[in-house]
Amino acid sequence: MPYVISDACIACGACEAECPASAISEGDPHYVIDESTCIDCGACSGVCPVDAPQEKA
Ligand code: SF4
Ligand code: SF4
């Protein structure tokens, strides 16, 4: 399942650079993942300081 970014996101931008699929972009109020582009690698979760990216249930 694709990852989704929760409201815990503090918009630091760290995950955007780490995504191999370029699925992450700045949104309002927080960063967002394009679910159709995400390849479910988990890299965003690994770099996020607040653990905001979570695998969609
Ligand atoms: Fe990008 Fe991987 Fe995170 Fe999906 S799980 S948004 S492909 S870094
Ligand atoms: Fe938000 Fe975490 Fe991505 Fe930073 S690394 S923009 S806090 S989801």
pLDDT tens, position by position, 20-41? 999 999 999 999 999 999 999 9
**57 pLDDT higher than 90:** no
The ligand placed nearest to the CA atom of residue 22 is 1
Q: Which CATH architecture has domain 3-55?
A: 2-Layer Sandwich (3.30)
**Distance from Cα 33 to the centre of ligand 1, integer Å:** 8
Q: Whose atoms come closest to the Cα of 3: which ligand?
A: 1
**Extents of the domains making up the chain:** 3-55
pLDDT of residue 21: 98
Q: What is the pTM of this model?
A: 0.95
**Spacing, Cα 21 to ligand 2 middle (Å):** 16
Q: Which CA distances in Å does 30 have to 11, 27, 42, 45, 51?
A: 5, 5, 18, 15, 13
Mean pLDDT of the chain: 97
Ligand 1: does its nearest atom lie under 6 Å from the Cβ of 23? Answer: yes
